[in-house]
Amino acid sequence: MKFKELAELFQQLEKTSSNLKMIDLICDFLKKTTPEEAKLTAYLLQGKIAPDYKGLELGLAEKLVIKAIALAFQQDVGKVEKLFKELGDLGDVAKSLAKEKPSSLEIQDVFNDLKKIALTQGKGSQEKKLEILAIILKKSSPLEAKYIVRSVLGTLRLGASDMTFLYALSKVLFGSKEGKKKLEEVFNILSDLGEVAYLALKKGKKALEKVEPILGVPIRMMLAQRVKDIKEIKENIENEIFVEVKYDGERIQAHLDGNEIILFSRRHENITNQFPDIIEDLKKNIKVKNAILEGEVVAVDKDGKLLPFQVLMQRRRKYDIHEYVKKIPVKYFLFDLLYLNGENLLYKPLKERKQKLESIIKKTEKIEIAKYSVCSPTNEDEIEREFLNALKEGGEGVMIKDSNSVYESGVRAWRWLKFKKDYKEELVDTFDVVVIGGIYGTGKRSKTYGSLLVALYDPEKNKYFSFTKVGAGFTDEELENLPKKLKKYEIKEKSKLVESQIEPDVWFEPKVVMEIKGADLTISPVHTVLREKIKKGGIALRFPRFVRWRDDKSPEQATTVQEVFQIYKKNL
Ligand code: ATP
Judged against a pLDDT cut of 80, whether residue 450 lies above it is answered with yes
In the structure, which protein residues have their CB atom closer than 6 angstroms to any atom of ligand 1? 223-224, 244-247, 251, 296, 335, 370, 399, 418
> Do residues 62 and 176 make contact, with C-beta atoms less than 8 angstroms apart?
no
Distance from the alpha carbon of residue 558 to the mean position of ligand 1, in angstroms = 13
C-alpha to C-alpha distance for 192 and 466, rounded to whole angstroms: 30
Nearest alpha carbon, ligand 1 atom 25: 246
> Across residues 48-70, what is the average pLDDT?
94
Distance from the alpha carbon of residue 552 to the mean position of ligand 1, in angstroms = 12
What is the number of the ligand 1 atom nearest to the C-alpha of 370?
27
C-alpha to C-alpha distance for 376 and 55, rounded to whole angstroms: 43
Residue type, 174: F
Give the burial string for 322-331 (b: 16+ CB within 10 Å, else e): eebbeebbbb
Nearest alpha carbon, ligand 1 atom 3: 418
Distance from the alpha carbon of residue 539 to the mean position of ligand 1, in angstroms = 25
> Do residues 330 and 298 make contact, with C-beta atoms less than 8 angstroms apart?
yes
C-alpha to C-alpha distance for 271 and 253, rounded to whole angstroms: 10
DSSP per-residue codes, 116-172: HHHH--STTHHHHHHHHHHHHHHT--HHHHHHHHHHHHT-------HHHHHHHHHHH
Ligand 1, pocket-test mutation among 219, 247, 419, most atoms within 8 A of CB = 247
Average pLDDT, the chain: 94
Closest CA to 563 of 480, 460, 485: 460
Closest CA to 162 of 19, 260, 309, 37: 19
Judged against a pLDDT cut of 50, whether residue 177 lies above it is answered with yes
**The one catalytic residue among 246, 348, 463, 469:** 246
DSSP code at position 438: E
Judged against a pLDDT cut of 80, whether residue 427 lies above it is answered with no
Give the burial string for 205-244 (b: 16+ CB within 10 Å, else e): eeebeebebbeebbbbbbbbbbbeebebbeebbeeebbbb
Q: Between the CA of residue 457 and those of 168, 343, 357, 570, what are the distances in Å? A: 20, 36, 35, 20
> Do residues 151 and 60 make contact, with C-beta atoms less than 8 angstroms apart?
no
- Coil, helix or strand at residue 186: helix
> Do residues 226 and 423 make contact, with C-beta atoms less than 8 angstroms apart?
yes
Distance from the alpha carbon of residue 427 to the mean position of ligand 1, in angstroms = 21
> Across residues 267-286, what is the average pLDDT?
94
> Across residues 413-427, what is the average pLDDT?
77
**Would residue 246 show up in a list of annotated catalytic residues for this protein?**
yes
pLDDT category of residue 572 using cuts at 50, 70 and 90: low
> Do residues 514 and 550 make contact, with C-beta atoms less than 8 angstroms apart?
yes
Q: What percent of the chain has pLDDT over 90?
A: 86
What is the number of the ligand 1 atom nearest to the C-alpha of 225?
11
pLDDT per position as a tens digit, 277-334:
999 999 988 989 999 999 999 999 988 899 999 899 889 888 889 999 999 999 999 9
C-alpha to C-alpha distance for 433 and 466, rounded to whole angstroms: 9
Nearest alpha carbon, ligand 1 atom 26: 246
Distance from the alpha carbon of residue 396 to the mean position of ligand 1, in angstroms = 10
Q: Judging by beta carbons within 10 Å of its beta carbon (0-12, 13-18, 19+), is residue 368 exposed, middle or buried?
A: middle
- Coil, helix or strand at residue 214: coil
Least confident range of 88-92, 148-152, 250-254, 443-447: 443-447
Q: Judging by beta carbons within 10 Å of its beta carbon (0-12, 13-18, 19+), is residue 111 exposed, middle or buried?
A: buried
- Coil, helix or strand at residue 326: helix
Distance from the alpha carbon of residue 139 to the mean position of ligand 1, in angstroms = 49
Query: Which domains does the chain possess?
Result: 228-420 (3.30.470.30), 430-571 (2.40.50.140)
Distance from the alpha carbon of residue 221 to the mean position of ligand 1, in angstroms = 10
Distance from the alpha carbon of residue 477 to the mean position of ligand 1, in angstroms = 28
C-alpha to C-alpha distance for 483 and 452, rounded to whole angstroms: 11
Helix (H) or strand (E) holding 292: strand 290-299
The HSE-up count of residue 212 (CA atoms within 13 Å, CB side) is 8
Looking at residue 428, its pLDDT comes to 53
Q: Between the CA of residue 391 and those of 164, 227, 248, 371, 386, what are the distances in Å? A: 41, 17, 11, 12, 9
What is the number of the ligand 1 atom nearest to the C-alpha of 557?
6
Distance from the alpha carbon of residue 415 to the mean position of ligand 1, in angstroms = 13
Q: What percent of the chain has pLDDT over 70?
A: 98
Find all residues with CB under 8 Å of 263, minimum gap 6, and list them: 252, 253, 254, 255, 270, 271, 272, 274, 275, 278, 279
DSSP code at position 555: G
> Do residues 569 and 443 make contact, with C-beta atoms less than 8 angstroms apart?
no
Residue type, 113: D
Distance from the alpha carbon of residue 417 to the mean position of ligand 1, in angstroms = 9
Distance from first CA to last CA of the chain, Å, rounded?
55
C-alpha to C-alpha distance for 3 and 337, rounded to whole angstroms: 43
Ligand 1, pocket-test mutation among 350, 399, 563, most atoms within 8 A of CB = 399
Q: Which residue has the higher pLDDT, 251 or 566?
A: 251
- Coil, helix or strand at residue 511: coil
Closest CA to 30 of 4, 49, 3, 6: 6
pLDDT per position as a tens digit, 242-253:
999 999 999 999
Judged against a pLDDT cut of 80, whether residue 554 lies above it is answered with yes
